[in-house]
Amino acid sequence: MHVKLATYFLPALVGPGELDGETAVVIDLLRASTTICHALAAGAKEVVPCLEVDEAKRIAAALPPGEAVLGGEREGVRIDGFDLGNSPEEYRPETVGGRTVVFTTTNGTRAMNVCRGAGRVFIGSFVCLSALCDRLKSAGPINLLCAGTKGKITREDVLCAGAIADRLLSSGAVRDDELNDQARIAWEAWRQATGAYSLQPTAYGLTPALRHSQGGRNLIRLGLERDIEAAAQIDRFAIVPELDLKAWRITAL
């Protein structure tokens, strides 16, 4: 079965009803998408995405004592009073195992909100790339939604969308003529950045590519370069995070 593969470089570029009943993949690579995968792979029961800090605190306070872990950041830094920031490696079995992570992330949550009419919503990242792409093969029409940052297109999200497109094209799950223009641009950026066609492939790679992105530069400025390396670990986990639109929580498939 052949399907459509659309990419949107920002939530604002999704037209009304455009995702209705279809599969959506939300990509906020540095770092929400990657951190959510780490949390679920570390045994967190679920991740509840929130737009606002107050909302996250309210949801956490309503859970049984010891159940909630408050996580998230503003301007790249852990929020005052929160248990964890937004560094993927903070989310380990000893910090989140068996618990509910109440997670606030502005750009990622905004992108998830745009998906409210979608049939199914997955979270996209490099750390869960193969598992996600396997799942997408039988997912019908696919929409890759890049979160961006504060309304600006960010290259790290576009590269991840391009990697997903590359996998789906090479597996035959999607045909070349089923890509929209943004999907094709993302695919081209991915192939070029990672040197798939390069005569000197060793000069290229995912971590250097991510360093030259808005999110990457921001993390380097904050001294969080390790988070870029964490985000670049393709297939570190074999799970697929899915957002349950009714319950509004993310669990691992």
Q: Footprint of a second copy on residues 199-238 (CB under 8 A)?
A: 199, 212-214
Closer to a second copy at the Cβ: 192 or 233? Answer: 192
Does residue number 135 form part of the binding site for a second copy (CB under 8 A)?
Answer: no
Among 97, 195, 205, 208, binds a second copy (CB under 8 A): 195
Options 87-95, 129-137, 147-155, 231-239: segment touching a second copy (CB under 8 A): 147-155
Going edge to edge, which strands form the sheet with 77-78?
5-8, 142-146, 23-27, 120-123, 241-244, 249-252, 46-50, 100-104, 68-74, 77-78
* Cα three-residue angle 208-74-233, rounded to 5 degrees: 30
Rounded to an integer, what distance in angstroms lies between the CA atom of residue 70 and that of residue 4? Answer: 37
Q: In this structure, what is the dihedral angle of CA atoms 205, 206, 208, 210, given to the nearest 10 degrees?
A: 160
| Alpha carbon of residue 40 to chain centroid | 13
Among 75, 172, 197, 223, binds a second copy (CB under 8 A): 197
| Residue 112 · residue 250 · CB < 8 Å | no
Does residue number 239 form part of the binding site for a second copy (CB under 8 A)?
Answer: no
Burial class (CB in 10 A: 0-12, 13-18, 19+), 53: middle
Among 4, 13, 74, 97, binds a second copy (CB under 8 A): 13
Prior bond of 236 cis (ω within 30°): no
Neighbours of 94 (CB within 10 A): 7
Does residue number 182 form part of the binding site for a second copy (CB under 8 A)?
Answer: yes
Among 95, 130, 192, 251, binds a second copy (CB under 8 A): 192
Does residue number 191 form part of the binding site for a second copy (CB under 8 A)?
Answer: yes
Number of H helices, E strands in the chain: 10, 10
Binding mask 100-119 for a second copy (x = CB under 8 A): --------------------
Options 19-27, 77-85, 133-141, 145-153: segment touching a second copy (CB under 8 A): 145-153
Residue type at 55? E
Does residue number 188 form part of the binding site for a second copy (CB under 8 A)?
Answer: yes
- Kindly state the smallest distance separating residue 243's Cβ from a second copy, in Å: 25
- Kindly state the smallest distance separating residue 194's Cβ from a second copy, in Å: 10
Among 154, 163, 210, 252, binds a second copy (CB under 8 A): 154
Options 30-38, 137-145, 181-189, 226-234: segment touching a second copy (CB under 8 A): 181-189
Residue type at 4? K
How many residues bind a second copy, per CB under 8 A? Answer: 30
- DSSP assignment letter at 53: H
Does residue number 35 form part of the binding site for a second copy (CB under 8 A)?
Answer: no
Residues at the site binding a second copy, with contacts judged by CB under 8 A: 9-10, 12-13, 151-155, 158, 176-177, 180-182, 184-186, 188-189, 191-193, 195, 197-199, 212-214
